A and B are shown apart, each in its own frame.
Chain A
């Protein structure tokens, strides 16, 4: 009963401090719950995005000797199968077409037999480019090789049987050719099989007419796959979805009893998404938890501001006979009330944030996840309230004497952690963990192919965590030392605001250095959290853009079909397309380096950067400008991969002879180059070894200036819109890809984890925390010294003189905190980006510093500090008579 009376009195008389403490708890709860929403919703998004791009869920291949019809029946009867259609695969010895008076012949290829309903069931597998969408369809590259168009006749070679002629009805693109022509049943980790260059698609009935006769003598050349679409009711978590889908695929294989193997496209896609999801979780740990810890520290500071009041009240209660147990219960009651109020407010705030940032009001993709995140965040809030309100109250009730409680300033010894050098130990441990992590290549997420379980090396988190904590304590030590030992310097620095009182104000600050140092640390930790999060996010966004640009080559890339010969002059036609700002031709050849066949790109060093950006991270041993400059300076210079340098023990300037195909004779001939540097990545180039050389030199050496691709810069125009216009110009002779589509397709890349929501939440909370850390902590500290200001006022201090005390304290806390935050943020950003190297593809050459956000951050801190100081100055102008009467 007394407890309720006490609580009711607190709510009436101490509404402000209680509300401020509950607000701190609410921020922590809201941050955790919001991040839970992010993790949960982004995992569900990853699953949805991953499976959305899968054209055919399963390709069940009937094994030799089995009856395809029986396999089809088994698949159709399997639970959860929505559609299953048979697709015939037959190998052809080659295709031939006579057009425009010339005859073109291709090498071996495949003829697929598609049921009539195939395009409706699997709309993502084929895309119309020209002519009809049904009947006999040529793949785009095959059409280019044969110079064939709808209406032309193609002759199909059959092993051991006479060729047959078919009239082409249309030309299509096969966007999912890699999975369509996969080797079903290949062992895990096997090199993916390149799709065939020549593909013809015919109706199912016609295919049977053409290739059933081949099946008996040559079963190795003909097989049937059952293409399957599943009812996609998947768990939100990609890892759970992967486990569910791959389990069902194995179950089907068991039912087929060896008659068929499942090519599980859905699981293959989810396998990539599950490691992305784990990285999202890792990012949550790295970027989210410090915010929650900060909110806890802030709450502790707010609660500590009321410690004096609580001690006085405890002394009064004790004087009136209250036992320690009752004091403890009152402390617990106050903490419980603050914790519950903060948790409720925090969850409400998280709902609002979720709606704004993620468009969802729940805390998880499933009710269980939602309950887990909401309950977990609320429990953390209660724990913070207990640690910051109840624990000090309990400790004071048991141990602290009134005299000890009176001490606010003084000559107390350095805290135990400072005497033990904990900050130095933490920084040392951080460096050690970082070094150990770097030795492991920063492999945080291990998701072995084909293995259901994935793991995270959480140990690597210790590096940044130790750095953050160590830097915070170090900032405390430096601030303490600077204010104490540097009193004269401090007096000189604050003279502009404190005038002749600067020495007295400096002395006052020096005696309150513990309180000031705590405030500096809080501001510094908040600033470093905000700065490192923002820098990481900016670097992440930048690298995602680089990744997409690297994969696509430029805003728009026009890739000529193999076999076609298009010179650099074709760039002029592209340059006339509305929205095109620059066009750059890039040769694509193949060259033998010893026995190794590698891609070779012929570029024009002086103009290549006009259409695409070359990052320093693409090269080794020099910047992009340096190495492209070497190409420009030396016509026969060549940039090679690091593996090539190692394999062939090359040194800069070494002569290197490559074998290139001559455009006139089609025979390979030796061409001499000089090794000029290492290229690790290049627009449109594959991940493995490749070469970059001068286009003019390659053209002279091979007698051909044929272009492999045109890189198109669209300036401010929409790449997708420009790509559409370019497609109309180039027709079926080339493939046109734009960076917008490429960004979506880089689905397997780790940068596909959509940080936008997390960024909005994190950076928003960081600003809130920065404002609170500077403004609220300063305001509370100054409010605690209202009595001091009232005394000074009673002694005759003018508002300007009182302002000197206030502004000097505000300046020390804000400037000191921001300085500590800048240094800590810089170090933390570097470490975060290094430790999370696995997130980046390619790794960034330098950090992307979000100057705009950092300016806003500093502005928010300064405005909050200014507002707190101005409020305190205003309050000192009219010192409360109650305070003066108490003197």
Chain B
């Protein structure tokens, strides 16, 4: 993570009740309401029913504030993606609540203040790169010319202008992920959630994609949460939360991380 990134905001993690990792306290104190992008309280997510039920996330509580740079680490199947989906409003918790005090209601998050970058190819196959990047803007109600212009600016910022007319199937994995980052950038979100964005990439390409994410977040002043099991990626972010078997583990018993 680059040293000149703004660190004026804080990350605050709360250990959930019954997680077995201690009770914990809010060391940073209550955050100003307009700073808290996401607040999770006692959140759990269970898939399936009865004996086949799988608890993917156990009572997680925590807050993500504006400008945060957070790595959500843990082995495969530890619940990172599920938690990210819950934070993005893509999924609803089985138990507990998630709110977005500074961003609005759940239905107002996407397209708009929250942007997701997925692990695999998340570009729409029948749209070219420029159309893919412009799509969230159009979905948000932007006019086609404005969306196109914004998309081209975003591509230009990430050095992808040459790819504007390419189709997703004509891109390499790294290029596709960078286009996905450009798509996140184009919507000028306040919170970028990236789910294993480098999971299918080699180290060199992964580094390029992480650079793109960090530059994008810096340029927009957005909070960035990256779920990853790659320590090299996690090391580039200021804060780290670990997940094990669906439980959130906060290092040093601290529940907050401020700028």
Please list the residues of chain A having a beta carbon within 8 angstroms of any beta carbon in chain B.
406-411, 500-501, 503-504, 507-512, 788, 791-792, 794-798, 801, 881, 884-887
Give bound CA distance, A426 to B112, whole Å: 54
Docked Cα-Cα span, A503 to B125, in Å, equals: 16
Q: Are A796 and B167 in contact (CB under 8 A)?
A: no
- Which of B19-27, B62-70, B96-104, B137-145 contacts its partner? B137-145
**With A and B bound together, what is the CA distance between A887 and B122 in angstroms?**
6
Interface centre among B47, B110, B123, B135 (most CB of A within 10 A): B135
Distance of A341 Cα from B118 Cα, bound (Å): 41
Minimum CB distance partner of A801 in chain B: B139
Complex contact A504–B111 (CB within 8 A)? no
Query: What sequence of 0s and 1s flags, for each residue 80-112 of chain B, a beta carbon within 8 Å of any chain A beta carbon?
Result: 011001000011000000000000000001111
| A507 touching B111 in the complex, CB below 8 Å, given contacts A500-B144, A801-B139 | no
**In the complex, which residues of chain B have a beta carbon less than 8 angstroms from the beta carbon of A408?**
125, 169
CB neighbours of B167 from chain A (8 A): 409-411, 511
The answer to whether A503 touches B144, judged by C-beta atoms less than 8 angstroms apart, is yes
Q: What residue of chain A has the Cβ atom nearest to residue B167's Cβ?
A: A410
Interface pair A796/B110, CB less than 8 Å apart: yes
Inter-chain pairs besides A500-B143, A511-B125, A798-B139, 12 sampled, C-beta below 8 Å: A500-B141, A503-B144, A504-B131, A507-B126, A508-B127, A511-B128, A788-B125, A792-B135, A794-B118, A795-B111, A795-B116, A795-B139
Q: How many residues of B contact A (CB 8 A)?
A: 36
* Chain B residue, CB-CB nearest to A791: B122
Please name 13 pairs of A and B residues whose Cβ atoms are closer than 8 Å in the assembled complex, sorted by A: A410-B169, A508-B127, A511-B126, A792-B135, A794-B90, A794-B116, A794-B122, A796-B111, A796-B140, A797-B139, A801-B139, A885-B85, A887-B119
- A590 to chain B: closest CB distance in Å? 78
Q: Is the CB of A504 within 8 A of B125?
A: no
Distance (whole angstroms) from the CB of A97 to the closest CB of chain B = 94
Query: Which residues on B sit within 8 Å (CB–CB) of A500?
Result: 138, 141, 143-144
Closest residue of chain B to A408, judged by CB? B125
Q: Check if A795 sits within 8 Å of B110, measured CB to CB.
A: yes
Q: Is the CB of A884 within 8 A of B85?
A: yes
Asked whether B253 is an interface residue with its Cβ less than 8 Å from the other chain, the reply is: no
With A795-B135, A887-B119 in contact, is A788–B124 under 8 Å at CB? Answer: yes
Which residues in B have their C-beta under 8 angstroms from that of A501? 138-139
Residue of B nearest to A512 (CB): B126
Once bound together, how far apart are the Cα atoms of A411 and B169, in whole Å?
Answer: 10
Interface residues of B in 142-186 (CB under 8 A from A): 143-144, 167, 169-170, 183
Q: Give, as a whole number of angstroms, the nearest-CB distance from B104 to chain A.
A: 12
B10 vs chain A, min Cβ distance (A): 27
Say yes or no for B120: interface residue by CB 8 A criterion. yes
Q: Give Cα distance in the complex from A885 to B84, angstroms.
A: 10
- The dominant DSSP class at the A interface is helix
In the bound complex, what is the Cα–Cα distance between A512 and B124 (angstroms)?
12
Task: For residue B226, give the distance in angstroms from its CB to the closest CB of chain A.
Answer: 15
Report Cα–Cα, A509/B140, bound state, in Å. Answer: 21
* B136: Cβ under 8 A from any A Cβ: yes
Known: A507-B127, A507-B128. A881 touches B91 (CB 8 A): yes
For the complex formed, measure the closest distance between the CB of B148 and the CB atoms of chain A, giving whole angstroms.
9
With A795-B110, A881-B91 in contact, is A406–B169 under 8 Å at CB?
yes
Q: How far is the CA of A884 from the CA of B86 in the complex (A)?
A: 12
The docked-state distance in angstroms from the alpha carbon of A881 to that of B131 is 25
Chain A nearest CB from B109 CB (Å) reads: 7
- Say whether A511 contacts B139, CB under 8 Å: no
Cβ contact within 8 Å between A796 and B136: yes
Q: What residue of chain B has the Cβ atom nearest to residue A787's Cβ? A: B125
Chain B residue at smallest Cβ distance from A411: B167
**Which DSSP category, helix, strand, loop or mixed, fits chain B's interface?**
loop
Residues of A within 8 Å of B125, CB to CB, are 408-409, 511, 788
A123 to chain B, nearest CB (A): 76
- Closest Cβ of chain A to B186, distance in Å, is 11
Report which of B47, B90, B127, B144 forms a contact with A884, defined as CB distance below 8 A.
B90
Once A792-B139, A795-B111, A881-B91 are accepted as A-B contacts, the answer to whether A409 and B126 lie under 8 Å apart by CB is yes
Partner-A contacts on B (CB < 8 A)? 47, 81-82, 85, 90-91, 109-112, 116, 118-120, 122-128, 131, 134-136, 138-141, 143-144, 167, 169-170, 183, 195
Nearest-neighbour CB distance to chain A for B83, whole angstroms, equals 12
B59 → chain A, closest Cβ, in Å? 20
Query: What's the minimum C-beta distance from A487 to chain B, rounded to whole angstroms?
Result: 12
**Which A residues are in CB contact (< 8 Å) with B85?**
881, 884-885
B120 and chain A: residue at smallest CB distance: A887
CA–CA, A603 to B23, complex, Å?
111
A886-B141 in contact (CB<8A): no
Expressed in whole angstroms, the Cα–Cα distance for A881 and B45 within the complex equals 12
Q: Give Cα A644 to B192, complex, Å.
A: 93
Using CB atoms, name the residue of chain A closest to B170: A410
Give every chain A residue within 8 A of B81 (Cβ-Cβ).
Answer: 885
Q: Which residue of B lies closest to A407 (CB)?
A: B169
Find the residue from A407, A507, A512, A791 having the highest chain B CB count within 10 A: A791
Q: How far is the CA of A792 from the CA of B111 in the complex (A)?
A: 10
A21: shortest Cβ distance to chain B, in Å? 24
In the complex, chain B residues whose CB is within 8 Å of the CB of A797: 111, 139
CB distance from B142 to the nearest CB of A (A): 8
Question: Quick one: which of B124, B143, B169 contacts A508, CB cutoff 8 A?
Answer: B124
Which residue of chain A has the shortest Cβ distance to B82 in the bound complex?
A885
What separation, in Å, do the CA atoms of A710 and B90 have in the docked complex? 84
Residues of B within 8 A of A507 (CB): 126-128, 131
| Contact partners of B91 in chain A: CB under 8 A | 881, 884
- Give the CA-CA distance A410 to B134 in the complex, in Å: 19
CA distance A14 to B92 in the complex (A): 29
The CA of A483 and the CA of B118, in the complex, are separated in Å by: 31
Please give, as numbers and ranges, the residues of chain A lying within 8 Å of B170 by CB-CB distance.
410
Q: How far is the CB of B189 from chain A (nearest CB, A)?
A: 10
Contact of A796 with B169 in the complex, beta carbons under 8 Å: no
- A792 vs B138: C-alpha distance when bound (angstroms): 11
B residues in contact with A409, CB < 8 Å = 125-126, 167, 169
Give A514 Cβ to nearest chain B Cβ, in Å: 11
Residues of chain A lying within 8 A (CB to CB) of residue B195: 887
Which of A503, A508, A795 meets B126, CB within 8 Å?
Answer: A508
The one of B128, B136, B169 in contact with A795, judged by C-beta atoms closer than 8 angstroms, is: B136
**For the complex, what is the distance from the CA of A504 to the CA of B136, rounded to whole Å?**
11
Nearest first, the 9 A-B pairs at minimum CB distance are A796-B110, A796-B111, A511-B126, A887-B118, A508-B126, A409-B126, A887-B122, A797-B139, A512-B126
CB neighbours of B119 from chain A (8 A): 887
Among residues of A, the one whose C-beta sits closest to the C-beta of B143 is A500
Chain B CB count within 10 A is highest, among A795, A801, A886, A887, for A795
| Chain B positions within 8 Å of A885 at CB level | 81-82, 85
B141: chain A residues within 8 A (beta carbon): 500
Tell whether, in the assembled complex, residue A796 and residue B139 are in contact, meaning their CB atoms are under 8 Å apart.
Answer: yes
CB distance from B46 to the nearest CB of A (A): 12
Q: How far is the CB of B180 from the nearest CB of chain A, in Å?
A: 10
> Bound state CA distance, A99 and B63, in angstroms?
124
* CB of B243 to closest CB in A, whole Å: 15
Q: Which residues of A contact B122 (CB under 8 A)?
A: 791, 794, 887
**Chain A minimum-CB-distance residue to B134:** A504
Inter-subunit contact A504/B127 (CB<8 Å) = yes
Residues of B within 8 A of A794 (CB): 90, 110, 116, 118, 122
User: In the complex, what residues of A have CB within 8 A of residue B139's CB?
Assistant: 501, 792, 795-798, 801
Residues of B within 8 A of A410 (CB): 167, 169-170
Of the listed residues A408, A504, A511, A886, the one surrounded by the most CB atoms of chain B closer than 10 A to its CB is: A504
Tell me how far the C-beta of A790 lies from the nearest C-beta in chain B, rounded to whole angstroms. 9
Question: What is the bound-complex CA distance between A123 and B82, given in angstroms?
Answer: 90
Residues of A within 8 A of B169 (CB): 406-410
- Chain B residue numbers with a CB within 8 Å of A796 are 109-112, 136, 139-140
A792:B124 contact, CB within 8 angstroms:
yes
- Closest Cβ–Cβ distance, residue A101 to chain B (whole Å): 100
Q: What residues on B are CB-neighbors of A884 within 8 Å?
A: 85, 90-91
Contacting residues, chain A, for B112 (C-beta < 8 A): 796
- Report the separation of the CA atoms of residues A219 and B99 in the bound assembly, to the nearest whole angstrom: 120
